[in-house]
C-alpha cells in the first residue's frame, strides 16, 4: 500500500468521524480516486470537506485553505493553479483590466484555484497535489452555474490536457465539458513582463465578445 493510499484511508475515516459516523462498510480504494460519487453535493459541504483534506504533503504545509473568493453563483469563473494576488499591485492591475474590459465588478466573478492549500513555503513536486485537488475543482465546477471559465497561466494545461505555451494560445476558445474556456496570461507574469499587457487586453476583449 502506497503512502497516498494510506493517507486517503485516514482522510476518509476522519471525515466520516467528523460527520458523527462510527461504522462504515469496507472501503474499496481500487476505484477511481476521490471520484465525484464520494464528494458532497453542495458547495458549502464541499468546502468543509476540502478544509479537512490531508491526502498530500501540501496539506501538511498549508497556511490556509483557498476554496474560492467572489460570487460563487457567477457565470464567470477565473481559475489559476495556486493562490494568486498575494501582491496587491498584481491584484490591482488585474482587477482594473477585468472591470474596464469585461465591465464586471471583480466581486461579481468567482476566483478559485486548482490547489486548495496555500503555503508561504516553496513547494516542490506539486503534481500529486494537483492530481488530487483537480477532483475537488471538477466537483466545484459541476455544482456551479458557470458559463465561461478563464484560466490563468498554466492552469489550462491541467484542465484540458494541452501542453501548449499559454503565450501562444491565450485568448483562444476551448471547450471544457460543454463550458467555454479561455486561457489568459498569468497575472504575475504580466506584472513582471509589462510588454505583454496589450496581449492581455486583447484577450479580455475577445472574452467580452464571447460573453455577448
- What are the pLDDT digits (tens) for 51-72? 888 888 888 888 888 899 999 9
- Is residue 99 one of the residues assigned to a domain? yes
Residues 6+ apart with CB under 8 A from 119: 58, 61, 62, 63
Can you give the pLDDT at residue 102? Answer: 94
C-alpha 24 chain-centroid distance: 31
Cα 186 to chain centroid distance, Å, stands at 14
Domain at 142, CATH number: 3.40.470.10
Query: Quick one: DSSP state of residue 27?
Result: P
Is there a domain that residue 106 lies in? Answer: yes
Total domains present in the chain: 1
Q: What confidence tens digit (pLDDT) does each residue in 155-169 have?
A: 999 999 888 999 999
For 3-56, how does the pLDDT look when each residue is reduced to its tens digit (9 = 90+)? 444 545 555 565 555 555 555 555 544 444 444 557 889 999 999 999 888 888
Concatenate the DSSP letters of all residues of 20-76 into one string. T----PPP-TTSSTT-GGGS-SSHHHHHHHHHT--SSTHHHH-SEE---EE-TT-SE
Total-model pTM: 0.81
- What is the extent of the structural domain holding 121? 64-211
Residue 16 lies in a domain: no
Amino acid at each position: 500500500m502506497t503512502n497516498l493510499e494510506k493517507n486517503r484511508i485516514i482522510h476518509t475515516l476522519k471525515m466520516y468521524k467528523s460527520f458523527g459516523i462510527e461504522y462504515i462498510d469496507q472501503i474499496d480504494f481500487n476505484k477511481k480516486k476521490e471520484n465525484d460519487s464520494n464528494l458532497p453535493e453542495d458547495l458549502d459541504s464541499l468546502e468543509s470537506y476540502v478544509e479537512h483534506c490531508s491526502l498530500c504533503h501540501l496539506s501538511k504545509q498549508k497556511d490556509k485553505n483557498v476554496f474560492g473568493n467572489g460570487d460563487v453563483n457567477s457565470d464567470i469563473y477565473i481559475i489559476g493553479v495556486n493562490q494568486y494576488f498575494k501582491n496587491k499591485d498584481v491584484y490591482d492591475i488585474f482587477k482594473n483590466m477585468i472591470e474596464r474590459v469585461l465591465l464586471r465588478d471583480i466581486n461579481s466573478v468567482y476566483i478559485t484555484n486548482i490547489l486548495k492549500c496555500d503555503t508561504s513555503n516553496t513547494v516542490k513536486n506539486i503534481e500529486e497535489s494537483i492530481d488530487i485537488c483537480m477532483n475537488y475543482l471538477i466537483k466545484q465546477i459541476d455544482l456551479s452555474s458557470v458559463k465561461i471559465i478563464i484560466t490563468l497561466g498554466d492552469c489550462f494545461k491541467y484542465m484540458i490536457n494541452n501542453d501548449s505555451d499559454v503565450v501562444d494560445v491565450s485568448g483562444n476558445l476551448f471547450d471544457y465539458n460543454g463550458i467555454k474556456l479561455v486561457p489568459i496570461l498569468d497575472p504575475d507574469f504580466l506584472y513582471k513582463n509589462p510588454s505583454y499587457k496589450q496581449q492581455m487586453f486583447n484577450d479580455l476583449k475577445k472574452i467580452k465578445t464571447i460573453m455577448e
